[in-house]
Structures are given as structure tokens and as C-alpha cells.
């Protein structure tokens, strides 16, 4: 269980950076070489390599070598684990927000009735 939470920490830590999220979005569409990944960013190749290492350590991407080229593709299993984890909170908050909505509707309805009763007494 501890390993599960350590892996989730790694995933969410990786996703905290906008560049890494963008890299993931791009490799989710198709496998890219490291050079193709680095091209649109105004970062050094070393900085891109560090981002890729973080993503790889979090098991969000997989690299493969073909000759001198390294290719990167999405490894969706860890994203599914993170989504499953967040789904628990989604259910919790949807239930709470639904209850709040019902409560506010009740207040609104009772508030209108109270003000009508008040006006009728005058």
C-alpha cells in the first residue's frame, strides 16, 4: 500500500509541471523521438532530458531505442491509477455539492414562503 501512494506522489509530482503535462499530451497522440519532443520548447536538450527522466521515473512514459534515436510513448497504466484515485474524491465531492444544492434550494423556497407570510401579516 505504501508503494501505491509513493507511486501516486510521483505521478502527481510529475504532472505539477506544465512542460511535462504538455509532453505527455503530445506523446499521448503518437510516439515521438526525443528531438521531436524538444523542438517546440525554448529549453536546453538537458532540461528536456530531465523532464523525460521525471516522467519515466513516474512510469508515465516508456522510452525505446532505435539506432541512435530514442523514442518516447505514453504509458497509460499510471494515469489510470491516478484517475481511479481521483474518482473517489469526485464521488465524495459530487455528493457533497448535490447536498449543498438541495439545502440551498430548500432555503430559497422557505425564504420565499417566509417573506410572503411576513408581507401578508402587514
pLDDT tens figures, 65-93: 999 999 999 999 989 999 998 998 888 89
Separation in Å, CA 112 to CA 99, 104, 116, 117: 20, 12, 6, 9
20, burial (CB in 10 Å: exposed 0-12, middle 13-18, buried 19+):
buried
Class of domain 2-75 as given by CATH: mainly alpha
pLDDT digits (tens, 9 = 90+) for 7-66: 899 999 999 999 999 999 999 999 999 999 999 999 999 999 999 999 999 999 999 999
pLDDT at residue 68, rounded to an integer? 93
Report yes or no on whether pTM surpasses 0.75. Answer: no
Q: Based on C-alpha coordinates, what's the Rg of the chain?
A: 25
Amino acid at each position: 500500500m505504501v508503494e501505491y501512494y509513493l507511486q501516486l506522489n510521483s505521478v502527481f509530482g510529475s504532472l505539477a509541471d506544465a512542460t511535462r503535462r504538455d509532453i505527455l499530451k503530445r506523446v499521448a497522440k503518437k510516439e515521438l523521438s526525443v528531438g521531436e519532443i524538444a523542438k517546440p520548447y525554448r529549453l536546453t536538450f538537458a532540461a528536456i532530458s530531465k523532464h523525460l527522466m521525471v516522467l519515466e521515473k513516474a512510469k508515465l512514459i516508456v522510452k525505446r531505442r532505435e539506432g541512435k534515436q530514442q523514442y518516447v510513448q505514453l504509458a497509460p497504466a499510471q494515469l489510470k491509477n491516478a484517475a481511479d484515485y481521483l474518482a473517489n474524491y469526485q464521488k465524495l465531492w459530487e455528493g457533497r455539492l448535490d447536498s449543498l444544492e438541495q439545502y440551498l434550494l430548500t432555503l430559497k423556497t422557505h425564504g420565499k414562503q417566509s417573506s410572503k407570510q411576513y408581507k401578508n401579516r402587514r
